[in-house]
């Protein structure tokens, strides 16, 4: 048996006019962007332009980048106004700023992409703006070279050194509060070389694979270029972690199912040691 394909109703002129009215239109000449901001020719870029009309993801334009900088500044100001000692600019873990640093995720062809110096440019701009807004001594920066997370791959050690070394050469002059480096070998050669390019306190962490412990922290602090160790999960699970580590007490186990949850549960309800 052959099934007959069902036809929809024939489209009349009124239907066609209604469909045309819904179709996005080219904006009037006075609202078009200047030629230098328009995507250049090329298949991918034409697709990008098409998606932009659909309201989907598009390559960040100059005004988008300015908005991101303003967002960082506004967030930093609010954090300080709320009583925080300082803020950390997050250029790690494959989030937006590291996506500019990585040659895999940054495929721009303007002065924010291509060379190591260009890829570091946006991070420098964000950190500069935040430091000017709240004071450089209240601003730390976190990086995670070679972390290869969320598609921000950085497989080439020479490129990593050029990109992050160049970045730190520019950040060093600002007098920032600290540099935080997440790396699988936090006391290894790469971090040592990068620490030498930064003239301030260096905080390290080995990442999510193993949970930080007192023994690991003490071991890392033996490296002459390490000033502090960032601790995540044990601090979340133990509001009195310092006291517990000092006194050799047992620790609460973190509850990973509550990480990134949307309530205070799992953040503010872990038990402290009994007083006295
Ligand atoms: C709930 C949770 C949230 C985290 N959020 C961030 C974050 O926003 N940015 C970041 O760089 N690291 C974040 N981390 C990672 C920690 O900074 C740290 O690198 C990681 O937990 C490894 O250290 P640990 O073994 O002491 O937990 C987070 C970790 C946890 C558990």
> Where does 62-231 sit in CATH, by number?
3.20.20.70
Domain boundaries, the chain: 62-231
CA of 267 from ligand 1 middle (Å) equals 13
Query: Model's pTM, two decimal places?
Result: 0.81
95 in catalytic set: yes
Residue 64 CA to ligand 1 center (angstroms) comes to: 28
Q: Which of 75, 95, 97, 232 to mutate to test the pocket of ligand 1 (most atoms within 8 A of CB)?
A: 232
The ligand 1 atom at the shortest distance from the C-alpha of residue 256 is 31
Q: Where are the alpha helices (DSSP H) in the chain?
A: 13-22, 43-53, 62-81, 96-101, 116-134, 157-172, 189-196, 214-220, 233-237, 241-247
Separation between Cα atoms, residue 27 and residue 33, nearest integer Å: 10
- From residue 219, alpha-carbon distances to 52, 241, 272 in Å are 50, 18, 26
Distance in Å, CA 89 to ligand 1 centroid: 14
Q: Going by DSSP bridges, is the β-strand pair 202-205/178-182 parallel, antiparallel, or unpaired?
A: parallel
- 210 vs 205, 216, 276, CA distance in Å? 10, 10, 32
Q: How far is the CA of 62 from the centre of ligand 1 (A)?
A: 31
**pLDDT tens, residue order, the chain (276 aa):** 333 343 344 444 444 444 444 444 444 443 444 443 333 444 444 455 555 555 678 899 999 999 999 999 999 999 999 999 999 999 999 999 999 999 999 999 999 999 999 999 999 999 999 999 999 999 999 999 999 988 999 999 999 999 999 999 999 999 999 999 999 999 999 999 999 999 999 999 999 999 999 999 999 999 999 999 999 999 999 999 999 999 999 999 999 999 999 999 999 999 999 986
Provide the CA 124 distance to its chain's centre, in angstroms: 13
Residue nearest (by alpha carbon) to ligand 1 atom 25: 211
Task: Ligand 1: list residues with CB < 6 Å.
Answer: 90, 92-93, 142, 182, 205, 207-208, 211-212, 230-234, 236, 259-260
Nearest CA to ligand 1 atom 4: 232
Please identify which of the residues 95, 112, 267, 270 carries the catalytic annotation: 95
């Amino acid at each position: 048996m052959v099934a007959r394909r069902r036809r929809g109703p024939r489209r009349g002129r009124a239907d066609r006019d209604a469909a045309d009215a819904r179709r996005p239109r080219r904006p009037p000449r006075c609202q078009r962007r200047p030629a230098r901001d328009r995507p250049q020719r090329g298949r991918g870029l034409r697709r990008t332009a098409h998606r932009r009309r659909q309201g989907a993801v598009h390559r960040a334009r100059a005004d988008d980048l300015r908005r991101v900088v303003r967002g960082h500044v506004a967030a930093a100001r609010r954090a300080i106004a709320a009583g925080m000692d300082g803020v950390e600019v997050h250029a790690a873990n494959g989030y937006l700023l590291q996506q500019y640093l990585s040659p895999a995720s940054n495929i721009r062809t303007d002065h924010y992409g291509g060379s190591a110096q260009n890829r570091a440019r946006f991070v420098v701009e964000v950190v500069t703006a935040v430091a000017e807004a709240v004071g450089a001594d209240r601003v730390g920066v976190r990086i995670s070279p070679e972390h290869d997370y969320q598609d921000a791959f950085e497989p080439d050690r020479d490129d990593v050194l050029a990109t992050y070394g160049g970045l730190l050469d520019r950040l060093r002059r600002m007098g920032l509060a600290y540099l935080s480096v997440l790396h699988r070998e936090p006391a290894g050669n790469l971090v040592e070389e990068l620490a030498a390019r930064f003239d301030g306190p260096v905080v390290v962490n080995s990442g999510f694979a193993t949970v930080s412990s007192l023994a690991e922290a003490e071991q890392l602090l033996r490296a002459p270029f390490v000033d502090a160790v960032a601790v995540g999960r044990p601090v979340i699970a133990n509001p009195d972690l310092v006291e517990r580590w000092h006194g050799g007490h047992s620790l609460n186990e973190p509850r990973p199912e509550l990480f990134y949850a949307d309530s205070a549960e799992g953040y503010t309800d872990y038990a402290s040691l009994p007083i006295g």
